[in-house]
């Protein structure tokens, strides 16, 4: 499998999906609420179907793991898609949202794209090939300590017990904290050094599959709060430089 060749074909598809997404921005979207308290719109559904139809041509027989349509069985390759990460932001007219697309092999991300269409920020990573923004390779993440760092965290619709208390304690030890509401874009910004660390819990595989590869390929670390690896069954998510991750894991042992 030529990952570079596939990535070159994915790029214009993601770009076109971004144009489709923006056609719905400020368009009076209808909200369809889900059991977890989140909602989807016609933008999520239409962009997802477009991505499925176009991407299935690139890797014949590949599976799909997508937010609105669920799982579509296939071979060891799988497209993991969030057609609109940050749906609430998008529906409210807040400009922090993105499209997230990853190709995994045996559940490990090998290609990643995160696209913010309003700013035309296209993040790309290939396993072993580095992480890029607008075709320019991202530098290795700076090894800044927790007390000097900007962290981004999330408040999921279904919170893990103790998570809010944990985040409040972490917030006291950092330079500043943010909660933007689009996990994939948050991770892309971490890979680009715009923020120093991201911390999430109880999100879905499509929220983090692309972003975690971006961070790894930018020289960062990705793990759960207890230091264990992040895979499809993860419950917590921590990423950043080695120093920050070790500090957070140490705090987690006392707080969670």
How many C-alpha atoms does 34 have within 13 Å on its Cβ side?
12
Tens place of pLDDT for every residue, the chain, 256 residues? 899 999 999 999 999 999 999 998 877 665 666 656 566 677 888 899 999 999 999 999 999 999 777 789 999 999 999 999 998 899 889 999 999 999 999 999 999 999 999 999 999 999 999 999 999 999 877 888 999 999 999 877 666 668 888 888 999 999 999 999 999 999 999 999 999 999 999 899 999 999 999 999 999 999 999 999 999 999 999 999 999 999 999 998 877 6
Position of tokens 């719905």?
A: 24
Classified as helix, coil or strand, 20 is: helix
**pTM beyond cutoff 0.85:** yes
The full set of domains in the chain, from first to last, is: 3-137 (3.30.540.10), 146-255 (3.40.190.80)
Q: What are phi and psi of 22, to 5 degrees?
A: -65, -20
């Amino acid at each position: 499998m030529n990952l570079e060749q596939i990535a070159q074909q994915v790029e214009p598809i993601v770009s076109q999906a971004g144009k489709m997404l923006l056609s719905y921005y400020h368009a009076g979207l209808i909200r369809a609420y889900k059991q977890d308290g989140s909602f989807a719109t016609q933008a999520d559904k239409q962009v997802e179907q477009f991505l499925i139809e176009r991407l299935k041509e690139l890797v014949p027989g590949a599976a799909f793991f997508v937010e609105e349509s669920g799982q579509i069985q296939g071979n060891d390759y799988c497209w993991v898609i969030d057609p609109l990460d940050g749906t609430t932001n998008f529906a409210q007219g807040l400009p922090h949202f993105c499209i997230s697309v990853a190709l995994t092999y045996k559940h490990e991300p090998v290609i990643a794209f995160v696209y913010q269409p309003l700013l035309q920020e296209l993040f790309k990573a290939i396993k072993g090939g580095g992480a890029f923004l607008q075709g320019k390779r991202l530098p290795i993440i700076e090894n800044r300590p927790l007390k000097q760092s900007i962290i981004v965290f999330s408040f999921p619709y279904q919170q893990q017990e103790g998570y809010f208390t944990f985040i409040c304690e972490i917030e006291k030890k950092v330079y500043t904290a943010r909660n933007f509401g689009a996990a994939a874009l948050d991770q892309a910004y971490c890979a680009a050094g715009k923020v120093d660390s991201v911390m999430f819990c109880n999100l879905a595989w499509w929220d983090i599959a692309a972003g975690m590869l971006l961070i790894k390929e930018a020289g960062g670390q990705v793990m759960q709060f207890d230091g264990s690896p992040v895979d499809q069954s993860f419950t917590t998510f921590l990423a950043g430089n080695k120093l920050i991750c070790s500090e957070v894991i140490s705090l987690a042992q006392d707080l969670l």
